[in-house]
Chain A
């Protein structure tokens, strides 16, 4: 708890200067979208097995240590296991009697239930992994610019693209800020004799409840400050703004996205 940042890396940017970090943000976002679509299309273990080397390669090329990602996903994985537990127990399908491994009232464990839960787990992990990797390797500025450029054509349909992107990016990037804030609060309250570094998981979880009110208050204060800061600097959406850095996709960017698309199609078709 005193080093919460170790256990939650969602929304964090870690600059390792790798090939993936240097890629055009639009290409990274597009590849992420392709993989998100893949998480819905692929519905066999074989399909996910085919995707696995690609994901591993992304992790390796990005130079972000796997241990760091895994440790930083502990809370997420614990939550996933918790959900899947109930998914299996309450699996409602019309399962032939012979498929039941265990049965008691409405609770059951069936091979079909286990299979569905397994696929579901892989889907959620894929979703989480690709979005986390996108954020780990893309700076706030690149992410905003990339999204604005990708969604730019929607502006003709009067969709407030800039505002929406801004809200999305701020929301995501506030996660690490809040995590840091929670850490600071936990430390200060521990010092006063309200220990966050002792007791079992349940006790610790209940203590976190104590942080909610101050976190909300500081969240509103931060949002307020940010609004004022943007207003004083005359922020008014990006419609007529030009970019200091033009994004230009290189040949390697095109090859990368092609690779991802082909790989996903193969995984989907098998």
Chain B
């Protein structure tokens, strides 16, 4: 388990999970999933629907009936008897697909304050965290703290949900489909925010999505899931090189890669491991220059 002296911050070891196991309605979530995530890594967990992404996300904070010996946080088995789950949940922050579901209080300020208060922070510290988180997400504290959550728009609610998790200052931040339901500007803002936060706080960032578009701008490693199993795991460029396989797995490819695959009709050896449009452009110009 030890590698470079550091245990991985998160590790799945032959993790299998079946929902409603032992009942006629049992359905398999994931089978034999193994990977390690080192502190400070930016990992995209990518897969089509039913690939097991959400099961993997839920396992990180022990939100399932886990079996022992499969999920480890900082080298410790989270399913071991007596393991402090409350502490685990204070350190692994999850922003779920539907932000509404994780909002506990009716009022924005109170909801963002929920985590820090529960973690035992003083009123002054909590206030500071709430103000900082709301401001960071573009919801100015004085204006929003007394607003009702249910009166906000979908995008604003998502930001409140993220603020609630950020206020916990968790070393691990997990986002499940963070861009769903956001308009292009909202996406861009959230993307910039996440990149900045990850750097400033040295977060371990895990982004789950059925689309590589957002994940490719945020992450430098991809774990690709298909029907409950890991099918690819590697550096972003390595995974993107096999664009045909990704497309077969029903994963939405980023624009530059879609472009690159079109180019393959002209240049069969055109690479697909391009992260930005600028890379696509320079590659194309080079080819045309040669031709």
Is A191's CB under 8 angstroms from B63's CB?
yes
Tell me if B192 is interfacial: C-beta within 8 Å of chain A: no
In the complex, A195 has a CB within 8 A of chain B:
yes
Give the residues in chain A near B89, CB-CB below 8 Å.
190-193, 195
Shortest distance between the CB of B95 and any CB in chain A (Å): 9
Decide if A188 touches B24 in the complex (CB within 8 Å).
Answer: no
User: B20 to chain A: which residues have CB within 8 Å?
Assistant: 3, 5-6
B64 interfacial by beta-carbon distance below 8 Å: yes
Does B196 touch A at the CB level, under 8 Å? no
State whether B114 touches A193 (Cβ < 8 A): yes
A195–B86 touching, CB < 8 Å: yes
Across-interface contacts of B61 in A (CB, < 8 A):
190-191
User: A97 on the interface (CB 8 Å rule)?
Assistant: no
Q: In chain B between 88 and 110, which residues have their CB closer than 8 angstroms to a CB of chain A? A: 89-90, 94, 96, 98, 100-104, 106
B24 touches A193 (CB 8 A): no
Q: Which residues of B contact A188 (CB under 8 A)?
A: 94, 96, 98, 101-102
Residues of B within 8 A of A191 (CB): 61, 63, 89, 94, 96, 102
- Is B165 touching A65 in the complex (CB atoms < 8 A)? no
**A192–B165 contact, CB under 8 A?**
yes
Docked-complex contact B86 and A193, CB < 8 angstroms:
yes
Which stretch, A144-152, A211-219, A251-259, touches the partner chain B?
A: A211-219
A49 at the interface (CB under 8 A from B): no
Please tell me if the beta carbons of A16 and B24 are within 8 angstroms of each other in the complex. Answer: yes
Known: A187-B63, A190-B63, A194-B104. A14 touches B119 (CB 8 A): no
Q: How far is the CB of B82 from chain A (nearest CB, A)?
A: 12
Which residues of B pack against A, CB within 8 Å? Answer: 19-20, 23-25, 58, 61, 63-65, 85-86, 89-90, 94, 96, 98, 100-104, 106, 114-115, 118-119, 150, 164-165, 168
- CA–CA, A190 to B164, complex, Å? 13
Q: Are B85 and A12 in contact (CB under 8 A)?
A: no
CA distance A240 to B165 in the complex (A): 54
In the assembled complex, which residues on chain B have CB atoms less than 8 Å from the CB atom of A71?
Answer: 23
Mask of A158-199 contacts with B, CB within 8 angstroms, 1/0:
000000000000000000000000001101111111110110
10 pairs across A/B with beta carbons < 8 Å? A14-B25, A188-B102, A189-B102, A190-B89, A191-B61, A191-B63, A191-B89, A192-B165, A193-B168, A218-B100
Task: Please tell me if A64 contacts chain B, counting CB pairs below 8 Å.
Answer: yes
Interface size class on chain A is: 20 to 34
Nearest CB of B to A259, in Å: 25
Question: Would you call A236 an interface residue if the criterion is a C-beta within 8 Å of the partner chain's C-beta atoms?
Answer: no
Chain B residues, CB < 8 A from A190: 61, 63, 89
CB distance from B279 to the nearest CB of A (A): 37
A6 close to B86 (CB less than 8 A): no
Residues on A with C-beta less than 8 A from B64 are 2
Residues of chain A within 8 A (CB-CB) of B103 are 214
- B150/A217 in contact, CB under 8 A: yes
Q: A68 near B: Cβ within 8 Å?
A: yes
Task: State A189–B89 Cα separation when bound (angstroms).
Answer: 10
User: B58 touching A187 by the CB < 8 A rule?
Assistant: yes
A198 to B168, CA, bound (A): 21
Chain B's nearest CB lies how many Å from the CB of A6? 6
The answer, among A3, A65, A195, A214, for a CB contact under 8 Å with B65, is A3
In Å, the complex CA distance between A217 and B164 comes to 21
A103 within 8 A of B: no
User: What B residues does A213 contact at CB under 8 A?
Assistant: 106
Contacts of A12 in B (CB 8 A): 25
Q: Is A239 an interface residue (CB 8 A)?
A: no
Which of A65, A68, A194, A217 has a CB less than 8 Å from the CB of B114? A194
CA distance A187 to B101 in the complex (A): 9
